[in-house]
Structure 1
């Protein structure tokens, strides 16, 4: 127990000994001895109450790094308030970035995720219907750019992509689509693959099979950019069983 660390945290959060006593319901005399270093090894239960009042980790009262830095606390609170499908999307991005980090350290073949959507209607795939396949692919110019794949089990994207195609996408949430590029978008829990273009300055998504009307992007906040299409790939371990 490092009493100086405790004092630093109290100063940062603008807590006096009196404030901490009221919040933790620990007597001022007991806290004063801890804060001044007179009690070098206070009881665990006491420090647990102190940590809860200061909204910090017990590790921060020592020289160890905290398990959850302060910066993450605000994100965690925001995450808990999101709709279920948005929480799932955030988990997907974290897993995607982790897999990408691992693949950058490997050579030859790399492990990636291939998503299959079992509920597709009118060109929209229900994000919650996804199945995830862990696959190994050869490193080549296309797969090196890809961060995930989508296994098309429907003819809804014909003639551009026939049934049983495996599409490679690059997660590029920070970059805005260019005219003519094929992107995957997420809106209200549904995925849409279309060609991005502008007409009189208005951004639109064009159907790949020509049977669905152009969809106008009225608000970029409503359309989450999931990834840019890179190319089709062959994964025999999936396609050979169909």
Structure 2
């Protein structure tokens, strides 16, 4: 439910794609090439160009398929190829009435194709879910998984706060133990919290943000300010000591909901 309300965070990542050989490439061992013993050594310092005849297999360009909408846990949305930002290659395309020439579905017609010779490279700008994995599928290697290291996203994810606008919502003020309102509260005793329905989250803290205008003398024009209160989940238990219900308009905020290790 929470994912449907908030969506998911996305990251824009620059990546380099290529095949790396484990040593020198294999050459044709036929008699016609027996005396050409320096070919493999010369290949180590080669910078592009056409492969010699005994290594003609290196000129084949292997397709690389990125992303898979049907694979659970794959977080690729799409990518731009090299410096071409005029076409976004997407794992899935918009619905028929939203189609545009700007978005092209990833297919065998536009897969990156690279030579497996340690020299072929292409650069992609990936739009992906930083908490998920991107899968690269080729015809020559097992499926390779790419995941963004958490050290690049940890600080930004921890600082993210998402807000859900609620208007109007019926609330009551309740005295609750300070330990029940999340980190940052008083170590002991009771505090006031708003009782209202809100989504459950495996981590993070919910609070209420409301724009209020403070009291001021007649003729003054005080600036509105944001007022924050802790929230607790509503339940079916009758409490006679609560104040009467109040209709409020504001935002239900989640802090620390995307913290990663």
Report the TM-score, using the length of structure 2 for normalisation: 0.22
Higher strand share: 2
Structure showing greater Rg: 2
Report the TM-score, using the length of structure 1 for normalisation: 0.23
